[in-house]
């Protein structure tokens, strides 16, 4: 029975290859790969059948590997970095499944991991990945730009250290400009950026720049771009991202700050952050303000208020039973603020509708996942309708002056038992 090795041989130099990758190539009778990669491991290929394929024949390589394996041969399909990271491992499995292969059919498939470009690049510029990071490929050859842009926005907003693969090629020159523009909407222009070209290869080149210089920088097919997070810094020509010791300790290796303990979650960790949110809400901050300040969905903030009894949670169906009992209320969401009465609303199909002689407002009620009822202060109580993501669909606000505060949502809920 044949075997297929899917081998990632690292960034380019033999030293950065794993022992297993060398073994896999040594054990193989057939080695298939992109011509440039084949050249990088030429010394290992003596006496083997070597099949060089061009860049555009990617899937042919997988098909060929399967055919050779069916002939009983051991085949290594090699590619740079980690073959499972933007590499041939995925497409090969897809080709194999298509051809009826399963792990039980007898031909073994082994994926041999390798050092991927982002860790290779990181090692050459310092330690930029010591906190949360993500990678985004700017190649729109197989991915819609809207998908890439969405991920760039999310990474920029969430303050991930971000590795950009496939940043630019002869034909794709504008993607990196767009990526920079998206990042600049959320990040400081002075954010440090490392450009690493041909890591661990002959033409290796390293440059440290600022985010606002990215569009003009010299970038090519073999460059990996590493964008730091808001804490990343450059010192002595090295890009470093702190792990967070400063959140807990007064100085490196020094004593813990008041309220913090070694080996324990931060006071603002999962256990503690709720108490901090609660404190600020009790001091007068609104849940919306907190959500905005923390860049979290409103639902996560409201969840914190349930246990101490500041918010009650109910499901949308239940809320509809309460709604007609409510007196005068304000309905607010992303749309205009409407002064209405609870009994003015009705369900029409999947819509919650407010249909008046000279006005109409509707909400796709199927999206409503949870309703939080809270008393904001003595003057007003509120019902916040959230979708599954925890974002606000509509808020109902009952004000004392506008209506019968006696009929507050919380009380109406309690009356239902
Ligand atoms: N499987 C590979 C990635 C393939 S995508 C891996 O795990 O590394 C190709 C992209 O990877 C290139 O456009 C470049 O952004 C990056 N890359 C690959 N090799 C590199 C190297 N030696 N130095 C810097 N970047 C590299």
Averaged pLDDT for residues 166-188: 97
Q: From the CA of 202, how far away is ligand 1's center (Å)? A: 15
Q: From the CA of 165, how far away is ligand 1's center (Å)? A: 6
CA distance 253 to 279: 31
Tokens representing residue 377 in the block:
């202060």
Which pLDDT band, with edges at 50, 70 and 90, does 333 fall under?
low
Is any ligand 1 atom within 6 A of the Cβ of residue 17? no
pLDDT at position 114, please? 98
Strand partners, 52: 33
Is any ligand 1 atom within 6 A of the Cβ of residue 113? no
CA distance 10 to 17: 5
For the cut 80, the answer to whether the pLDDT of residue 407 exceeds it is no
DSSP string, 74-86: EEEEEESB-TTSS
Question: Domains plus CATH for the chain?
Answer: 3-115 (3.40.1010.10), 118-240 (3.30.950.10), 287-416 (3.40.1570.10)
CA distance 53 to 35: 6
Q: From the CA of 196, how far away is ligand 1's center (Å)? A: 10
Per-residue pLDDT tens digits for 242-289: 999 999 999 888 899 999 999 999 999 998 999 999 999 888 888 999
Residue 199 and residue 167 in contact, taking contact as beta carbons nearer than 8 Å: no
For the cut 70, the answer to whether the pLDDT of residue 401 exceeds it is no
Cβ-count burial 165-180 (b if 16+ within 10 Å, e if not):
bbbbeeeeeebbeebb
For the cut 50, the answer to whether the pLDDT of residue 145 exceeds it is yes
Is any ligand 1 atom within 6 A of the Cβ of residue 165? yes
Residue of the nearest CA to atom 3 in ligand 1? 86
pLDDT at position 394, please? 86
Residue 16 and residue 199 in contact, taking contact as beta carbons nearer than 8 Å: no
Which residue from 135, 158, 134, 129 is spatially nearest to 243, judged by alpha carbons?
129
pLDDT at position 404, please? 44
CA distance 375 to 182: 39
User: To test the ligand 1 pocket, which listed residue (117, 138, 220) has its Cβ within 8 A of the most ligand atoms?
Assistant: 117
Which pLDDT band, with edges at 50, 70 and 90, does 405 fall under?
very low
pTM of the model: 0.89
For the cut 90, the answer to whether the pLDDT of residue 81 exceeds it is yes
Q: From the CA of 11, how far away is ligand 1's center (Å)? A: 7
pLDDT at position 377, please? 58
What's the mean pLDDT when you consider all of the chain?
A: 89
CA distance 398 to 147: 40
Specify the 3-state DSSP secondary structure of 217. Answer: coil
């Amino acid at each position: 029975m044949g075997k297929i090795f899917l081998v990632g041989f690292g960034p380019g130099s033999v030293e950065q290859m794993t022992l297993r990758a060398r073994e896999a190539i040594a054990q193989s009778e057939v080695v298939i790969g992109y011509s440039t990669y084949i050249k990088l491991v030429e010394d290992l290929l003596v006496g083997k059948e070597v099949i060089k394929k061009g860049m555009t024949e990617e899937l042919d390589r997988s098909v060929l590997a399967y055919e050779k394996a069916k002939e009983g041969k051991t085949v290594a399909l090699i590619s740079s970095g980690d073959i499972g990271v933007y590499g041939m491992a995925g497409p090969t499995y897809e080709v194999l499944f298509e051809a009826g292969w399963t792990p039980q059919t007898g031909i073994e498939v082994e994926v041999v991991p390798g050092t991927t470009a982002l860790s290779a690049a990181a090692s050459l510029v310092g330690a930029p990945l010591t906190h949360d990071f993500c990678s985004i490929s700017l190649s729109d050859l197989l991915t819609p730009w809207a998908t890439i842009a969405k991920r760039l926005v999310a990474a920029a907003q969430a303050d991930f250290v971000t590795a950009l693969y496939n940043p630019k090629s002869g034909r794709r020159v504008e993607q990196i400009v767009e990526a920079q523009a998206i990042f600049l909407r959320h990040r400081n222009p002075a954010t440090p950026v490392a450009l690493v070209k041909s890591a661990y290869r002959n033409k290796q080149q390293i440059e440290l720049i600022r985010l606002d210089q990215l569009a003009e920088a010299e970038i090519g097919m073999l460059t990996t771009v590493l964008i730091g997070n808001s804490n990343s810094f450059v010192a002595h020509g090295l890009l470093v991202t702190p792990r967070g010791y400063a959140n807990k300790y007064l100085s490196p290796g020094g004593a813990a700050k008041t309220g913090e303990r070694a080996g324990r979650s931060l006071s603002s960790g999962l256990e503690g952050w709720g108490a901090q949110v609660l404190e600020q809400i009790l001091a007068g901050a609104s849940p919306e303000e907190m959500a905005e300040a923390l860049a979290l969905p409103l639902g996560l903030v409201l969840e914190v208020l349930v246990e101490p009894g500041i918010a009650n949670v109910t499901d949308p169906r239940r809320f509809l039973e309460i709604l007609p009992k409510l007196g005068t209320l304000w309905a607010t969401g992303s749309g205009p603020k409407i002064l209405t009465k609870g009994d003015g609303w009705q369900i029409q199909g999947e819509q919650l509708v407010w249909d008046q002689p000279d006005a109409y407002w509707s909400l796709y009620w199927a999206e409503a996942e949870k309703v939080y009822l809270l008393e904001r202060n003595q003057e007003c109580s509120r019902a916040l309708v959230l979708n599954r993501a925890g974002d606000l669909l509509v808020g109902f606000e009952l004000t004392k002056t506008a209506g019968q505060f006696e009929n507050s949502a919380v009380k109406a809920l309690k009356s239902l038992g």
